[in-house]
Every structure is written in C-alpha cells, then in structure tokens.
Amino acid sequence: MSKVILHICTSIDGFIADEDGNSDFVFDAQKSDPEFEGFYNSINSVIIGRKTYDYLKDKQPKLFKEKDVFVITHYLRQKEKNVTFVHENIMGCVKALKKDSKKNIWVLGGSEIVNILLKEKLIDEVVITTAPLVLGTGIRLFKEDNPCIKAKLKSTQTFDDFTQATYKI
C-alpha cells in the first residue's frame, strides 16, 4: 500500500503562504533540497487543493505533465490531461489512490485539504521544510480545530538556510 505524504514548506511562524496566497519561498526550498528530486521520483500522484492548483499551474507546469494530479475542489471542472478534479467522495478517492497506487502520493497543499486529510487520518508521513522567513500573517498550515495527532520524528536535516523534519504519523 502506498503512503500519503504531506511534503510542504512553511515560514518559521507556520504559514504556507502570505495573505494573498503567494508562496514563492517554496520554490527556493525545493531547489535547495538535495533529496527533493528523489522524493519527486518516488511519487506518481499529487493531491492538491484548487487554490493551490490555480496558483501553481503556470509556475510548475512540469508537475502537471509528469504526475497524475487530483485537484480537490467544490467546483465541477472538466478533466484536463493528467488532472482530475474531485468534488465528490474525496475520502473515497484518496483511499482508492492509497490502495491502488504503485508509488507514494504527495499531498502538496493547501491548508484546507491538508487539515481534512489529517482529521480523516489519511496522511502517513509529514515532511515540513522551514524557510528562513517570518511572514507574520497569511495562510497557516494547521488549523486550530485539528485533533491531537501524535507523530514520531524520523529524521531532520538542514540545507542552505532551510531546516527539514520528517515525521511518521
């Protein structure tokens, strides 16, 4: 069975984007991470929220050509090449992916889908890269209404000015 892995970058104060949804600092983290390419090659599917998809579609076109992407959305949209818009039975879709996928599944964001999947206990591993940045306000990774979730630290590493921690849920 495949693992569902949240692999994400936050500011020091826990934001994944500023108030306008800008998270360009994530690209610096991906470029600096010596293990990102290996992680990227270990997945074949990406779960992403609609707002994050709309933000990244033009900024990371490679992602949407090489992987099967499942966009969680409230809005019905037509399937695009390699992109499926999921607006019903979200948990069923994620469970089926987890069961049937030959490789791991990357939860890319945003915070709404991350928090839904955490509540449903569908995330197996969390990789958080902390950027050397304090945003002060913006979009938080974790919402205040999440249940207590125990995690086990698997590893930590630093690269450039970034710190990365990997946890097993």
The values of phi and psi at residue 77, to 5°, are: -135, 155
Residue 137 is predicted with a pLDDT of 96
Residue 66 is predicted with a pLDDT of 86
DSSP code of residue 107: E
pTM, whole model, 2 decimals?
A: 0.93
| Helices and strands: H and E segment counts in the chain | 6, 10
Domain topology for 4-168: Dihydrofolate Reductase, subunit A (3.40.430)
Residue 96 is predicted with a pLDDT of 93
Residue-wise pLDDT for 24-33, tens only, equals: 898 889 889 9
Q: What are the residue ranges spanned by the domains of the chain?
A: 4-168
Residue 125 is predicted with a pLDDT of 97
Residue 121 is predicted with a pLDDT of 93
Distances (CA, A) of 98 to 76, 105, 125: 23, 7, 13
One pLDDT digit (tens) per residue for the chain, 169 residues:
899 999 999 999 999 999 988 898 988 898 899 999 999 999 999 999 999 998 888 888 777 788 999 999 988 787 788 899 998 888 999 999 999 989 999 999 889 999 999 999 999 999 999 999 999 999 999 988 888 899 999 999 999 999 999 999 9
Q: How far is CA 130 from the centre of its chain?
A: 14
Rounded Cα distance between 29 and 8, Å, is: 9
